[in-house]
Chain A
């Protein structure tokens, strides 16, 4: 048992996976000698060899297409896109080939590869370094979309991603790279497709993932002062989604708020809200609300905190959940806002 950061847990997961399976290779920009701009691959090239962990030219489509070819011929590539927005040049390879190859070949050719992407903001980063693109990948059938919020999950989910026969987009909340927890590694947590109740509660369900999990927990703590007992659900894997745990929770509490950092319009929260109202309609005491980033390009570092959902904005939403027979009036026509 030792205090371990998420970055260290990821590093350990990569090492253990590569030791367990010779066909696992890691590549991307600056992952070799430098050990990655966030040090997630620190020391791996030195310890396991430069043919197991190596640098590529500065070409994301190239990284992805090259990985497709390697995965077609016996390897299990784990590639890194240095920052969320830098994956965009690789987007065609991801959506047209990575996601479709199994389907196109009726299962004859599968691509057991992992695309690691540091994502989301909250680190005061300049433009393009804080995007959250999970919705694009979640919307692409054939990809699995995974995002750990704790060091233990980082280790477990990355090990599972590497072992998975399907391609996995592994979104690492960079803000949490330095978060610590006491861990004994190796460790295995719940598998893909199981959400985790981070805090049980009776009054309402906060549904979230990735960088917003700690924020939601903080909000739940603050909520006790206002008399609310909030349940916090960490989805862990957006695809495959844990419909069962989600519906169970909302059928118990009858109230639901979805929290994510990325822009609200057409975001993952919209899908969650739609599913919850479809499956739990008759249990709902209030509409399903969403607390998300605004529908704007990610702001400059100095304006970031007005954009990101924080404890207060989450509690404001909780307050609108029609307690004491008081309707939510935000969208009610004929009532002043």
Chain B
């Protein structure tokens, strides 16, 4: 275990060599090089299933996050879950076209965004609504894609958050490229990209790990292994011992963590982020968690999994476990809990109110953002559409 512990405490690698691929030495295939990259033998844990302390060895040498950080995480998880439930309800009420829930994945959602700075970049998939709200984005803007009034409701530049990404794992390459560009510009920006278990099968994921490693890009790949790609379970997605083992093939140090243990998730992610920020290159973190709800509101999960499996994971609820931990350490009381729930209700109420107003959609905007300047053809087509709209409007008035 000592070899692994070396790499976990502080930045064992030191400042990064300026190492574009052509100056790197050819791989020499030594076992020692491989060992340094492998994840812990069992997923890292700080908490047992009930929120009590896990055995020391399972911490694998990671440093616990600060108390303040954990209390903050709790608050955001409570708010996040309430937001997620509200979004689900709104979908069932026809106010959203679709909603992929992150219920049960709060530790990863909140852990991911708390582990990075506001100036770092986050690359979400389509199941990161909760994380984006926790990051501070406007909930209505986060839900714009799912409501369908536009493809992205927030300004990526202002929020340092890439647009939500529906194609699988394509964003991992973007994260690698952006992170590399940041390093070239002398910034200490880190990019954190979420990616699902199913998405790790896509080619772009592998190319991204490869590019990130070769170009020494400061990118953290957070693989949220929630057990299912719609209906396909992990066992049908990979024959690898676990997804964390996909890093060693590309020379990317990797870790696996109990994704429902908020303390562990934060501890490991903070280490990974600091590793990247200090010039250590990319990091791969696999968080074992579970998708409590179906793929989206329109999916029927009973067709491919048992209620008993869901219940087993419900007993390992991340919010409950962190709550118990915080109580045991005297870090919060009923007031703190009540305040968190109050904040959650306020957010939910505000969201309902705003989402119950129909958004303003202007079809003419279709032509505004195809190129920097519309081409003559686009201007012509805009004219045709405007005629159609005027005819409709004239009818409504006349």
Binding site for B on A (CB under 8 A): 32-33, 50-51, 54-57, 59, 61-62, 64-75, 89, 92-93, 96-97, 100-110, 141-142, 144, 164-166, 193, 239-241, 243-244
Most buried by B among A54, A62, A104, A193: A62
B207 at interface by CB-CB < 8 Å: yes
- Are the C-beta atoms of A69 and B210 separated by less than 8 Å? no
User: In the complex, what distance in Å separates the CA atom of A141 from the CA atom of B371?
Assistant: 9
Q: Return the chain B residue nearest A239 by Cβ.
A: B375
Most chain B C-beta atoms within 10 Å of own C-beta, residue among A73, A105, A166, A240: A73
> Contacts A55-B22, A65-B172, A243-B377 given; 18 further ones with Cβ under 8 A?
A56-B211, A61-B207, A65-B170, A65-B204, A69-B178, A89-B203, A92-B204, A97-B167, A100-B151, A102-B369, A103-B369, A104-B151, A105-B369, A106-B368, A108-B158, A110-B372, A166-B371, A240-B377
Interface size class on chain B is 35 or more
* Nearest CB in chain B to that of A165: its residue: B372
Q: Mark B180-200, 1 if CB is under 8 A from A, else 0.
A: 111011000001000000000
Contacts of A100 in B (CB 8 A): 151
Q: Is the interface of B mostly helix, strand, loop or mixed?
A: helix
* Interchain nearest-CB distance for B243 vs A (Å): 19
Distance between Cα atoms of A101 and B156 in the complex (Å)? 11
The answer for the CA separation of A240 and B376 in the assembled complex, in Å, is 8
By a CB distance below 8 angstroms, the chain B residues around A164 are 372
Closest A-B pairs by Cβ, 4 of them: A69-B177, A65-B173, A62-B207, A73-B181
Chain B residue with Cβ nearest A77: B177
CB distance from B380 to the nearest CB of A (A): 8
Q: A97-B170, A102-B369 in contact; A57/B180 too (CB < 8 A)?
A: no
- Per-residue A-contact encoding for B377-395, CB less than 8 Å = 1, 0 else: 1000000000000000000
With A50-B20, A54-B21 as given contacts, are A65 and B208 in contact (CB-CB < 8 Å)? yes
B137: Cβ under 8 A from any A Cβ: no
> In the bound complex, what is the Cα–Cα distance between A104 and B151 (angstroms)?
5
B369: A residues at CB distance < 8 A: 102-103, 105-107
> Contacts A65-B208, A108-B157; is A241 near B377 (CB within 8 Å)?
yes
Given A65-B173, A70-B180, A102-B369, do A59 and B207 touch, yes or no (CB 8 Å)? yes
> How close is A161's CB to chain B, nearest CB, in angstroms?
13
Whether B155 sits at the interface, judged by CB under 8 Å, is yes
Instruction: Verify if B78 is at the interface (C-beta below 8 Å from A).
Output: no
Pairwise interchain contact B22-A54, C-beta atoms closer than 8 A:
yes
Complex Cα gap A242–B203 (Å):
38
**Chain A residue, CB-CB nearest to B177:** A69
Given A54-B22, A73-B181; A66-B173 close (CB under 8 Å): yes
Q: Is the beta-carbon distance between B174 and A193 smaller than 8 angstroms?
A: no
CA distance A56 to B207 in the complex (A): 11
Residues in B with CB closer than 8 Å to A105 are 152, 155-156, 163, 369
- Which A-chain residue is minimally distant from B380 (CB atoms)? A243
Chain A residues near B20 (CB-CB < 8 A): 50-51, 54
When chains A and B are docked, how far (Å) is the Cα of A109 from the Cα of B178?
13
What are 21 sample pairs from A and B whose C-beta atoms fall under 8 A apart?
A: A50-B20, A50-B22, A51-B20, A61-B170, A61-B207, A64-B173, A65-B173, A65-B176, A66-B177, A69-B181, A72-B174, A72-B177, A93-B170, A101-B163, A102-B369, A109-B157, A109-B163, A141-B370, A166-B372, A193-B375, A241-B375
